[in-house]
Structure 1
Amino acid sequence: MFWRGQGLASGAALAVAIATAAQAAPAPQRFTAFTAQAQAAPQSSPAARRELQNVLIHYFERRIERPTPLNNEDPIPDGEGLDGAKLGVDDSNATGRFVGLKFELRPTVVDPGQDFRAAFADLVARERPAFVVVNAPADDLLAISDLAAANKTVLLNVGAPDVRLRDADCRADVLHVLPSRDMLADALFQFLAFKRWTRVLLIVGPKPEDRLYADALRKSARKFGARIVEERSFDAAGADIRDSAADELTLATRGPEHDVVAVADEAGEFGASLPYNTASPRPVVGTQGLTPAGWGAPVESWAAAQLQDRFRKLAGRRMRPIDYAGWMGAHAVGEAAAQLKSADAPAIRELLLSDRFEVGGFKGRALSFRSWNGQLRQPVYLLWPSAVIATAPIEGFLHQKTELDTLGLDRSETACAAMKG
């Protein structure tokens, strides 16, 4: 159901508590070769060490070479994810000091072409990290999660939306903060069902990620009673689609009667040109047009505007979905430590992985991790560039435990054997 009337005071309380700027995180260590260089811990006074217990959170990122987007005004920033984690630690420090806790973020960025697993193994050997916010593709995440030496490390996934990580390829110590593709698709098709726009023309890009997004759309269409009337593949093939969109996209969207055009174009090669270039006057939904996302610039309800403002002051830009996931990853660790009033890493880990843990996220309700696959249950927004059109779960879609579990894999649907839930 819509989240109205179900807000938490925790978001507003956190916003009030954050009255002073916290210390900035250190610059990320970079791996430009296999050999890593140890990073010295920040200095603090003996008095500060006696008064505050330190909770260390690592941030570990695979830097990805991305093509220049069609819209040059909105490139993916280098600090995506990391800036969110910095703010999460700042926020945790603003409240943690009242319970005797100090939080530190230690970032590492692994450059393209370098051995991600080896870099993480080096980090584990040097520092035995307890909590690591990971911004990396699925294969990299699996590679580090299977390191035997890291079996006591909680990995918080903020960069990989792949459904398989929450399904057959799940891992016991991996928590997924970023919404999965099937959560996004379920949110979209709940909205389409609510609007009774059930006939869908699907346009799929050429990349593997596009096909994964399309897979999620197909599954959600079946789940919520919609029908994909036809599916088309579209490849811009390196051409500037802005010069030919009126012809090529009009031709690509001619087909059987449909209510909406759904697009799967995660790289943004052509989807932004689809609205107003369809053969019939139909809404565009999916990776472009009306887009499901865990966060976005128009989100302001439930004190989210204050989180947006703090992020803008820190990063000098708008908060993106992966930034929000980075913030939530660090914030979740901070919240667990604050609830325990302890920096004891095993105790924090146990609470994070338990059914007892809940955390506020400026989304109007308590958020928690699913015990059966480690996914953070959370509302998903249906966004237009300047507005929140709706928030899923949509009113009328019910569940025996919580309507949030209508989004993504439910307990009976997952093949995750590693989690105890």
Structure 2
Amino acid sequence: MEYAVAGALCRCILCLLVAAGPAFALDGSESPAASPALRELKILYIAGDYPKAEYLSLLQSQPDDDGKAGALLALDEINITGKFIGFSFAMDFIALKRGADVVAVAKQSLDRDSVLVADLNAPDLLALANAPAARRSLIFDIRTSDDDLRQERCARNVFHILPSTAMRADALGQYLAKKGWRRWFVLQGPSVEDAAFATDIHRAASRFGGKIVEARAYNYDAGSRRVDTGYQQIATQMPLATEGAPAHDVVIVADTKNLFGDYLPYNTFEPRPIVGTQGLSPVAWHPAFQEYSALQMQHRFELVAHRKMSERDYAAWLAVRAIGEAVIRSGKTSPIDLAEFMRSDAFGVAGFKGQALTFRRWDQQLRQPVLLASALMVVTMSPQDGFLHPKFFTDTLGYDEPETKCRFAQ
């Protein structure tokens, strides 16, 4: 037994010496070969200073490091892999002041060839993409879902991480069709974003056999919901807002600003499920998601951020992982080369959704399944079974190549 243990120990030591590579020779002399210097890619994370999202529930709030925490986690992960093949990654953070000129900041801060993660709203993202200083840059959009940024106003140097509004509406529409809930009553808030979501719900209805029995505009008057009788006001207002609708299976709410949607469950005139921007909602990520090893991801994030992972955290994490994947697999660091590789069939990034995630060549939108979740649980994931596509099932969500209006300027 002792000889067996000693033999095993010697074999382990020999393995360690071999694994150490050229740094040590078996005769005890130091190897003259030095470790090659790592090739560094610096990623710029640029974030705008915008008003935080407001919520009706005291249980919800937007963290100060929303997005940034996900990017930092991914940076650590890609450095672990990168160092073994000669790459290192660093990240600089640029915080735009409220109302700052993003073009001026780009001119001052960007190199000729930069790789950026952009936590910017649509106007600032477009300004950055069109800035002369950023024309040869590679920009990852982690905030917007606007369809027009992927359609008429698409930019060759921008790759979109979050699902578009059309993808979210289609994910919901497929599930409603599968459930046989085909009569949809749409309650739409006053914002431009509410109108965009409602428009995509109409599109999903025509694609998947839904029937919109009524689309009703609603402008909620908050009144004094924080006073002692606030719940009584809500219990009166929500039934009035939904009274008189034709027979319907679900209420689809379009309330992107969180003004009234969370008041609808259990308060509608007819007892119906609430889906859309509140209730059962289409999201890229959810803290309760645990399939496809996502539970490991949730745990890793909580260990470093000390909170749950948000959708924007996930988008930032995925953007940085995509950068690392492209660099490591292509061996290149130029933004132009990385963009070409990401458009190719050779690219794919793991996103804990059961398949490699890839970019659509026609609009540079990331293909991905979309989760349908309530506040506490993930209910399902679209595309739903039975919705077929000749190439990618995920291309049943959003604008397919024959439908696109994106024409990249060369």
Give the TM-score normalised by the residue count of structure 1.
Answer: 0.85
2:254 maps to 1:253: no
- Contact 1:355–1:371, Cα closer than 8 Å, also in 2: no
Distance 1:343 1:72, change over 3 A: same
2:61 maps to 1:61: no
Distance 1:160 1:130, change over 3 A: same
* Alpha-carbon separation, structure 2, partners of 1:181 and 1:93: 33
Q: Which of 325, 346, 350 is 1:356 aligned to?
A: 346
Query: How far is 1:243 from its partner?
Result: 4.8
Distance 1:404 1:68, change over 3 A: closer
Match of 1:333 in 2: 323
The DSSP-based 3-state class of the residue aligned with 2:200 is: helix
Match of 2:140 in 1: 156
Query: How far is 1:355 from its partner?
Result: 3.4
The DSSP-based 3-state class of the residue aligned with 2:148 is: helix
Match of 2:276 in 1: 286
The code of the aligned residue for 1:231 comes to A
Structure 2 stretches lacking a partner, 5+ long: 1-33, 226-230
Match of 1:122 in 2: 108
The DSSP-based 3-state class of the residue aligned with 1:244 is: helix
2:387 maps to 1:397: yes
Query: How far is 1:66 from its partner?
Result: 3.1
- Contact 1:204–1:233, Cα closer than 8 Å, also in 2: yes
2:93 maps to 1:107: yes
Shifted more, 309-318 versus 183-192: the winner is: 309-318
- Contact 2:293–2:352, Cα closer than 8 Å, also in 1: yes
The code of the aligned residue for 1:275 comes to P
Distance 1:106 1:114, change over 3 A: same
RMSD value over aligned CA atoms? 1.9
* Alpha-carbon separation, structure 1, partners of 2:262 and 2:107: 40
* Alpha-carbon separation, structure 1, partners of 2:35 and 2:339: 22
The code of the aligned residue for 1:130 comes to S
Query: How far is 1:330 from its partner?
Result: 0.5
The code of the aligned residue for 2:124 comes to D
* Alpha-carbon separation, structure 1, partners of 2:407 and 2:333: 30
- Contact 1:355–1:369, Cα closer than 8 Å, also in 2: no
Query: How far is 1:354 from its partner?
Result: 2.7
Residue identity over aligned pairs, in percent, reads: 39
Structure 1 stretches lacking a partner, 5+ long: 1-47
Query: How far is 1:386 from its partner?
Result: 2.0
Match of 2:403 in 1: 413
Match of 2:360 in 1: 370
* Alpha-carbon separation, structure 2, partners of 1:78 and 1:190: 35
Query: How far is 1:273 from its partner?
Result: 1.0
Query: How far is 1:336 from its partner?
Result: 0.7
2:346 maps to 1:320: no
2:187 maps to 1:203: yes
Give the TM-score normalised by the residue count of structure 2.
Answer: 0.87
Distance 1:216 1:335, change over 3 A: same
5 Å matches for 1:5-44? none
Query: How far is 1:156 from its partner?
Result: 0.6
- Contact 1:65–1:112, Cα closer than 8 Å, also in 2: no
2:170 maps to 1:186: yes
Query: How far is 1:272 from its partner?
Result: 0.8
* Alpha-carbon separation, structure 2, partners of 1:50 and 1:203: 61
Distance 1:394 1:240, change over 3 A: farther
- Contact 1:163–1:182, Cα closer than 8 Å, also in 2: yes
The code of the aligned residue for 2:56 comes to L
2:170 maps to 1:170: no
The DSSP-based 3-state class of the residue aligned with 2:215 is: strand
The code of the aligned residue for 1:410 comes to D
Match of 2:209 in 1: 225
Q: Which has the larger radius of gyration?
A: 2
Match of 1:43 in 2: none
Query: How far is 1:81 from its partner?
Result: 1.4
Query: How far is 1:50 from its partner?
Result: 4.7
Query: How far is 1:357 from its partner?
Result: 1.2
Query: How far is 1:198 from its partner?
Result: 0.7
Shifted more, 155-164 versus 243-252: the winner is: 243-252
Higher RCO (CA 8 Å, separation ≥ 6 residues): 1
Paired residues, number: 372
Q: Which of 56, 61, 64 is 1:75 aligned to?
A: 61
The code of the aligned residue for 2:129 comes to S
Query: How far is 1:356 from its partner?
Result: 2.6
Match of 1:20 in 2: none
Query: How far is 1:358 from its partner?
Result: 1.1
Match of 2:299 in 1: 309
* Alpha-carbon separation, structure 1, partners of 2:253 and 2:207: 18
Distance 1:182 1:240, change over 3 A: farther
Distance 1:240 1:156, change over 3 A: farther
Query: How far is 1:353 from its partner?
Result: 3.1
The DSSP-based 3-state class of the residue aligned with 2:402 is: helix
* Alpha-carbon separation, structure 2, partners of 1:49 and 1:85: 28
